[in-house]
């Protein structure tokens, strides 16, 4: 299992290389970073094919006491594997897209180094088996994303990043308080061990309080509705590939994934929590869609749409049924791909027009025929039109709602889906259709590296739909959802390793 | 117990500062106060009354009187992370000031329109 070390060594070593010797290799920095993420994707596929899960690794070689590893602890199971695949695959695409889209910036080596550190932090969050490792990697990825948001150093980007930093810093403190309380309560920082100790204790109100702290802290990172304030500022202000990475992957890895881990595997997903998740998700998906519909800034519209899609994932996971969990993870994957492609398209449009206000755009269908096609594929996928991937994941969510005896939320999700479609048709109408209006900085299509990554994601938007076939989702999604279904007993299994 | 309540009060003061103050430096100070409160809280968790430093010397039954070293290790890490986030925030404030000539968040928002 020494391959797991690659998830940390490769990005960190390459980032160091880029910072130290970047002056000489700046021209190939993009290719190098793409290669690193591609290698990590290959490692993930390799592990998926050949390893029995869960795998638990105690770093540092300290002898475990009663099966509880001391110090840094990495856990690799089906869920972690799925998330690692998504992170590193989107990482490849983002790095390839960056080659063509970041040329106007100086200090590119720092950009690529930060991209790698963000990837490293996310890999660490996924693999962390103890609370403090989780916290440290969370901060690594958070700090790199703060800087990446402000990478073009304009006034708006600085301001958005500052807002992100203040809210993110507050959230980190809430998370740290939760970790401290867990330690006080259980005397351990290891997640699996804490789960075992909590299982033996009577349901204490402190545990519920810890749950609230984690929900608020990671809720800010996930941009779920009452905690979403930073996202519509930060995601539009970032350069296009960074927006794609932030909206597609970062909110899910830093927000949803730790919440799943903590609630399903440590605290126990019962009592009032499923209800809280469903209501938060439901509010988020409807309000996010309505706010998206009101936007005139193209990237801000997409950012609000992310808030609503996060709501869908929360709603599906909150159902807690096997189908609900599969549906939530399915939507997580399809949205990661679809939203990354949407932000790539928006990046091309903003590059050509020089502004993001849809009222000053129009008639781009003739100027950017290629981007129009990829836009339609991604928009239809995220809005949930057949036969694209997003349709199947939303169908799964609605069926799961009905199956769980909550048809109201199924109808609610379907209405939300129509609003998403309306928001995307607004972009279609004001940006692509109609007469050419507004000035253009250049009229040329996306350059080659952008086209490659956009076509790749567009193909994925179609191909991922095949995950709806039971034989396929049982291979790919079910190992991940089963880890969640097992709940706290999954933690006990880790301790038995 | 009173010490725990005081650290929570300190945390609350920091949170109040972050939420209500409109001056960027004060918001950052609120964050720092929250960090300090969290560090104090962690140290308090490891505290034992009349405890000694957690260094093994080989004498009899010494682990019973030691303070818990794990929270101290966590605090060291948390201080380093706090340093990084604070430095980044202050660096951004310098940039913001250079662009807007003010650190008043209301005025910065107004400029954006």
Give the mean pLDDT of A129-134: 90
pLDDT, residue B60, reads 66
Task: Count the Cβ atoms, other than its own, within 10 Å of residue B83.
Answer: 11
A176–B contact, CB cutoff 8 A: yes
Instruction: Output the pLDDT for position A93.
Output: 94
Mutate to test the interface with B, among A170, A188, A237 (most CBs of B within 10 A): A170
% of residues, chain A, pLDDT over 70: 98
Q: How confident is the model over A204-258, as pLDDT tens digits?
A: 788 889 999 999 999 999 999 888 888 988 888 899 999 999 999 999 999 999 9
pLDDT digits (tens, 9 = 90+) for A143-184: 999 999 998 878 888 888 988 999 999 999 999 999 999 998
CATH (domain of B98):
1.10.287.3510
Give the per-residue pLDDT at B113. 37
| Average pLDDT of chain A to the nearest whole number | 88
C-alpha dist (Å) from residue A423 to A119, A150, A162, A301, B8: 31, 27, 28, 8, 44
Please report the pLDDT score of residue A338 as a whole number.
Answer: 93
Sorting pLDDT into bands at 50, 70 and 90, what band is A198?
A: confident
State residue A497's pLDDT score: 67
Closest CA to A382 of A340, A431, A350: A340
Tokens for A18, please give them. Answer: 């880029």
Q: Which of B15, B74, B112 sits opposite A156 (nearest CB)?
A: B112
Cβ–Cβ below 8 Å for B85 and A156: no
B103 touches chain A (CB under 8 A): no
If we measure between CA atoms, which residue out of A138, A414, A140, A355 comes closest to residue A261? A138
Given a contact cutoff of 8 angstroms between Cβ atoms, the answer to whether B93 and B103 are in contact is: yes
Say if strands A55-58 and A73-76 run parallel, antiparallel, or are unpaired. antiparallel
**B41 to chain A: nearest residue by CA?**
A180
Q: Which run of H or of E encompasses A312?
A: helix A298-319
- Domain extents for chain A? 2-496
For residue B84, CA distances in Å to A120, A484, B32 come to 17, 34, 12
Q: How far is A57 from A127, CA to CA, in rounded Å?
A: 10
Is residue B53 a part of any domain in this protein? no
Higher pLDDT, B112 or A487: A487
Q: Which two tokens stand for residue A52?
A: 């029995």
Residue A401: band (very low, low, confident or very high) from pLDDT cuts 50, 70, 90: very high
Q: Measure Cα distances from B30 to A139, A167, A218, A221, B18 in Å.
A: 19, 12, 20, 20, 5
Residue A79's DSSP bridge partners are none
Cβ-defined contact of B81 to A184 (cutoff 8 Å): no
Range scoring the smallest mean pLDDT among A62-66, A160-164, A356-360:
A62-66
pLDDT higher than threshold 60 for residue B112: no
| Alpha helices (H) in A354-447, listed in sequence order | 364-367, 369-383, 389-403, 407-427
Question: Contact at 8 Å (CB) between A1 and A76?
Answer: yes
**pLDDT above 90: residue A95:** yes
| Residue at B35 is within a domain | yes
User: A167 near A224, Cβ under 8 Å?
Assistant: no
Residues pairing with B104 in the sheet: B23
- CB-CB under 8 Å, A166 with B27: yes
> According to the model, what pLDDT value does residue B110 have?
52
Which tens digit of pLDDT belongs to each residue from A381-395? Answer: 998 888 899 899 999
Q: Are B103 and B24 in contact (CB under 8 A)?
A: yes
CB contact under 8 A, A143 and B88: yes
Q: Distance (Å, rounded) from C-alpha B11 to C-alpha B22?
A: 19
What's the 3-state SS for A329-355? HHHHHHHHHHHHHHHHHHHHHHHHHCC
Report the pLDDT averaged over residues A115-130. 93
pLDDT 10s digits, A447-466: 888 888 999 999 988 888 88
Alpha-carbon distance of B24 to B17, in angstroms, equals 10
**By mean pLDDT, which of A107-111, A280-284, A410-414 is the weakest?**
A107-111
Compute the nearest-CA separation of A182 from chain B (Å): 11
Q: Does the pLDDT at position A66 exceed 80?
A: no
Q: Is residue A186 over pLDDT 70?
A: yes
Over residues A297-341, the pLDDT tens digits come to: 899 999 999 999 999 999 999 998 889 999 999 999 999 999 999
**Over residues B62-73, mean pLDDT:** 81
Angle formed at CA A112 by CA A451 and CA A21, multiple of 5 degrees: 125
pTM listed for this prediction: 0.93
- Tell me the CA end-to-end span of chain A in Å, nearest whole number: 14
Q: Would B12 be classed as within a structural domain? A: yes
Which strand (E) or helix (H) includes residue B3? helix B2-20
Domain count, chain B: 1
Q: What is the mean pLDDT of residues B15-30?
A: 90
Q: Chain A: nearest CA to B34, how far in angstroms?
A: 7
Q: Cα–Cα distance between A268 and A491 in angstroms, integer?
A: 11
pLDDT value of residue A301: 92
Closest C-alpha among A388, A156, A144 to residue A246: A144
Separation of alpha carbons A144 and A170, rounded Å: 17
- φ, ψ of residue A190 to 5 degrees: the values are -70, 130
Measured between alpha carbons, how far is A330 from A325 in angstroms, rounded to an integer?
A: 8
Separation of first and last alpha carbons in chain B: 49
Q: Which of the four pLDDT bands, split at 50, 70 and 90, describes residue A1?
A: low
The Cα–Cα gap between A36 and A107 comes to 20
Residue A11 has pLDDT above 80, yes or no: yes
Percent of chain A with pLDDT over 90: 48
Q: Is B88 on the interface with A (CB under 8 A)?
A: yes
Q: Kindly give the residue spans of alpha helices, DSSP state H, lying in A150-272.
A: 155-186, 191-200, 205-222, 231-237, 240-245, 251, 257-260
Range of B91's domain? 2-48+66-112
Cα A271 from chain centroid (whole Å): 27
Which helix (DSSP H) or strand (DSSP E) does residue A74 occupy? strand A73-76
Selected for mutation to probe chain B from A71, A133, A158 (highest B CB count within 10 Å) is A158
Q: What is the pLDDT of residue A332?
A: 93
Tell me whether A156 touches chain B (CB under 8 Å): yes
Tell me, what's the pLDDT at A203? 67
Secondary structure string (H, E, C) spanning A105-116? CCCHHHHHHHHH
C-alpha–C-alpha distance, residues B11 and A414, integer Å? 42
The alpha-carbon radius of gyration of chain B (Å, integer) is 20
Query: What is the C-alpha to C-alpha distance for residues A374 and A92, in angstroms, rounded to an integer?
Result: 18
Query: H or E element: which one contains A57?
Result: strand A55-58
Integer angstrom CA distances of residue A424 from A107, A241, A306, B82:
35, 20, 12, 41
CA distance A438 to B36: 52
The pLDDT value given to residue A23 = 80
Half-sphere exposure of B33 (CA within 13 A, CB side): 20
Whether A172 and B85 lie within 8 Å, measured CB to CB: yes
For helices A108-127 and A6-25, what crossing angle results, to 10°?
Answer: 180
């Amino acid at each position: 299992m020494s391959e797991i070390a690659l998830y940390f060594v490769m990005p960190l070593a390459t980032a160091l290389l880029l910072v130290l010797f970047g002056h000489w290799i700046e021209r190939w920095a993009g290719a190098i970073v793409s290669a690193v993420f591609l290698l990590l994707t290959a490692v993930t596929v390799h592990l998926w094919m050949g390893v029995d899960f869960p795998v638990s690794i105690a770093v540092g070689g300290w002898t475990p006491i009663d099966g509880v590893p001391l110090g840094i602890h990495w856990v690799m199971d089906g869920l972690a594997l799925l998330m690692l695949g998504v992170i590193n695959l989107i990482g490849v695409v983002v790095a390839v897209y960056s080659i063509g889209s970041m040329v106007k910036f100086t200090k590119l080596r720092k950009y690529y180094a930060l991209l790698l550190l963000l990837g490293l932090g996310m890999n660490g969050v996924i693999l962390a088996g103890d609370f403090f490792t989780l916290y440290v990697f969370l901060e690594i990825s958070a700090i790199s994303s703060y800087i990446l948001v402000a990478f073009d150093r304009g006034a708006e980007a600085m301001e958005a990043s500052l807002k992100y930093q203040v809210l993110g810093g507050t959230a980190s403190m809430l998370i740290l308080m939760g970790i401290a309380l867990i330690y006080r309560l259980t005397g351990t920082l290891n997640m699996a061990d804490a789960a075992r100790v909590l299982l033996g204790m009577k349901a204490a109100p402190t545990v519920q309080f810890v749950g609230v702290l984690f929900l608020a802290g990671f809720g800010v990172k996930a941009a779920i509705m009452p905690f979403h304030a930073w996202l519509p500022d930060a995601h539009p202000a970032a350069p296009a590939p960074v927006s794609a990475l932030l909206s597609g992957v970062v909110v899910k890895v830093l927000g949803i994934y730790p919440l799943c881990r903590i609630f399903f595997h440590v605290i126990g997903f019962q009592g009032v929590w499923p209800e809280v998740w469903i209501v938060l998700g439901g509010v988020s998906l409807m309000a996010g869609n309505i706010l998206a519909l009101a936007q005139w800034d193209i990237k801000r519209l997409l950012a609000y749409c992310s808030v609503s899609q996060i709501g869908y994932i929360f709603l599906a996971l909150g159902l807690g049924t096997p189908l609900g969990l599969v549906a939530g993870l399915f939507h997580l994957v399809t949205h990661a791909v679809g939203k990354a492609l949407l932000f790539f398209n928006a990046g091309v449009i903003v590059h050509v027009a020089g502004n993001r206000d849809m009222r000053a755009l129009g008639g781009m269908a003739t100027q950017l025929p290629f981007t129009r096609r990829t836009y339609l594929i991604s928009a239809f996928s995220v809005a949930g039109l057949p036969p694209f991937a997003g349709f199947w994941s939303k169908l799964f969510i609605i069926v799961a709602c009905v199956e769980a005896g909550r048809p109201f939320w199924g109808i609610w999700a379907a209405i939300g889906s129509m609003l998403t479609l309306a928001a995307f048709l607004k972009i279609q109408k004001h940006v692509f259709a109609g007469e050419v209006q507004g000035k253009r900085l250049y009229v040329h299509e996306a350059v080659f590296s952008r086209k490659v990554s956009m076509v790749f994601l567009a193909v994925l938007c179609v191909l991922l739909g095949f995950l709806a076939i039971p034989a396929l989702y049982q291979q790919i999604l079910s190992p991940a959802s089963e880890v969640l279904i097992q709940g706290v007993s999954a933690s006990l299994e880790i301790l038995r390793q | 117990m009173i010490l725990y309540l005081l650290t929570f009060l300190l945390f609350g003061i920091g949170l109040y500062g972050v939420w209500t103050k409109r001056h960027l430096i004060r918001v950052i100070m609120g964050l720092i106060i929250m960090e300090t409160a969290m560090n104090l809280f962690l140290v308090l968790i490891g505290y034992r009354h009349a405890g000694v430093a957690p260094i093994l010397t080989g004498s009899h039954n010494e682990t019973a009187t030691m303070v818990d070293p794990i929270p101290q290790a966590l605090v060291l890490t948390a201080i380093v992370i706090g340093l990084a986030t604070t430095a980044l925030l202050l660096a951004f404030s310098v940039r913001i000031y250079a662009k807007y000539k003010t650190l008043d968040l209301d005025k910065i928002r107004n400029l954006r329109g």
